């Protein structure tokens, strides 16, 4: 009888613990990205500084480019915006739409090498997925 009670108590306790961890996991799952910080590794930052920053930063004189994407504002944006911008960065670079052709003609050294463009797109995609909780 005593044994049965012990078994019962243990299973009740473990059920209780399990249910707690269960809800805990769920809260994490429904709040993706909250604990992921917006980080740009140095090598990616160097690529951005060289090939994107002239138009897409606070220092840019092009209001249109700045409105579409401003790397200086990106870290402060809400997560939905960040994910959106990141996936668009990746798409634009992959399609070769960015950096713009006329810009590259003027500043050939700002052209992205295949290696750099891969580095930039994988960073953007990975961070988008992390922030999006996937």
Contact set with another protein (CB under 8 A): 30-33, 64, 67-68, 78-81, 83-88, 91, 128-129, 131-134
Tell me the closest approach of the beta carbon of residue 58 to another protein, in angstroms: 18
Tell me the closest approach of the beta carbon of residue 31 to another protein, in angstroms: 7
Tell me the closest approach of the beta carbon of residue 110 to another protein, in angstroms: 23
Contact of 95 with 57, CB cutoff 8 Å: no
Distance (Å) of CA 37 to CA 20, 24, 132, 133? 27, 21, 12, 12
Nearer to another protein, 83 or 98 (CB): 83
Run of H or E residues at 29: helix 2-30
């Amino acid at each position: 009888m005593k044994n049965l009670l012990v078994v019962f108590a243990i299973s009740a306790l473990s059920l209780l613990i399990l249910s707690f961890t269960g809800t805990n996991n769920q809260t994490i799952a429904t709040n993706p990205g909250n604990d992921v910080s917006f980080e740009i590794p140095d090598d990616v930052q160097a690529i951005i500084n060289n090939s994107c920053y002239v138009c897409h930063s606070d220092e840019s004189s092009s209001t249109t480019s700045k409105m579409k994407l401003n790397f200086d504002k990106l870290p402060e944006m809400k997560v939905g915006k960040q994910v959106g911008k990141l996936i668009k960065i990746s798409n634009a670079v992959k399609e070769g739409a960015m950096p713009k052709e006329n810009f590259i003609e003027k500043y050939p050294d700002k052209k992205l090498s295949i290696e750099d463009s891969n580095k930039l797109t994988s960073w953007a995609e990975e961070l988008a997925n992390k922030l999006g909780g996937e």
